[in-house]
Amino acid sequence: MDLDALLSIAIVLFSGLFFGKLVTYIKLPNVTGYLIGGLIIGPSVLNILSTESIASLGLISQIALGFIAFTIGLSFKFNYFKRMGWTPVVIALFEATLAVLFVQIALLLAGFDLSMAIVLGAIAAATAPAATVMVIKQYKAKGPVTDTLLSVVAIDDAIALILFGFAAAVAQTLLGTNVSTNLLRTILNPIWEIILALLIGAVIGLFFKYILKIFATRAGRLSVLIGGVFLITGVATQLGVSELLANMAGGLVLTNISLDAQRMDDMTDFITPPIYMMFFVISGARLQLSIVPTIGIVGIIYILFRVVGKLTGAYIGARVMNASKDVQKYLGPMLIPQAGVAIGLTTIAERLVPEHAAEITAVVLVGTLVYELVGPIITKISLEKAGETNV
């Protein structure tokens, strides 16, 4: 039975409240409770929320991701970049690239098709910022590890898109579905999409500054905040580019040109908790336990070697840039979560290697299930060991 949208939202909210509170008794992050709650009320267990009901709530997920990305952007002041330098960029390059290479090499050594190994391995680069940001907020984490983590997950999406673009071009060439002009377009397209996403966010972020002077009341600023995030997300979606990168750029520009940015950040913290809660409950409801037995050895390789690549790459990148010992030790485990961007890339992968479409989709979805349930717990433990939690 398909539920009314408002009833579905009510069920999602109260499930999040209940399971979020429940997991605190066993010292787990709230986000883990939200995901478990969604899994239980979703089609995999109780089926209180049907697949159709979940699909009808897709707008909530889009809104939540927009605010999460905008919040990350607000934390990137220019003096922050002066202090951090190139460290986050180098770490992100190493952790994303090694995750891709480790998965690809392991799949090839196990005897899997070259084109599938290249495409599936490329998806391993993507990291999900949403769960990480939620854990940081819940435990009021502050310090060099937290700062580096936020920077790396922000940069990671751009690198993941570029790496996937190269992998897609190589796969199409191997399959003989490319001519030289298409090859060049396939390589350049992700770079153009990143530039366009950043431009959209930057222009609208600049627009924020001036409209905030006109609507200076609390109610006015709140309306500008919500409308602005919706505008960035909507324009990016309409043009087919990353709304995450666009919203990060919007927040980054605003925080560096407007004194009102801190007020906007405070407002975001005030209005977003129920949105984030619903996002993770819905994400949990989307997870499908039934596909777990179907992934086989390819799934095990993907899940394990992606983690090894992330850990190794983050450590090497941190060592190369002479980052602190805590960053070297604890950053890698916090890069495990994977969700939205990876699933989006999966839809492209299905077109690139249609003969392996079902297998790739199942592997990435099961990987999402594992990473999203385990990732927040590991992030919490890592932040505690780094001494950066304040709860």
| pLDDT tens by residue, 267-282 | 888 888 898 889 888 8
Fold of 59-271+295-385: Na+/H+ antiporter like fold (1.20.1530)
Sorted by where each begins, the domain ranges of the chain are 59-271+295-385
Q: What is the pLDDT of residues 53-90, one digit of tens each?
A: 888 888 888 888 788 888 878 877 777 667 777 888 89
The count of residues in the chain is 391
pLDDT of residue 180: 46
Tens place of pLDDT per residue across the chain (391 aa): 556 788 989 999 999 999 989 988 887 788 888 888 988 998 888 988 888 888 888 888 888 878 888 887 887 777 766 777 788 889 999 999 999 999 999 999 998 888 888 888 888 888 877 778 888 888 888 888 888 888 888 788 778 777 777 777 677 666 665 444 455 665 667 678 778 888 999 999 998 888 888 888 888 888 999 999 999 999 988 987 778 778 888 988 998 888 877 788 788 888 888 988 898 888 788 777 777 777 788 889 999 999 999 999 999 999 998 888 999 999 989 888 876 667 667 766 766 777 777 777 778 878 877 887 888 889 999 999 988 888 6
- Give CA–CA dist 238/248, Å, rounded: 17
Q: What's the whole-model pTM score?
A: 0.76
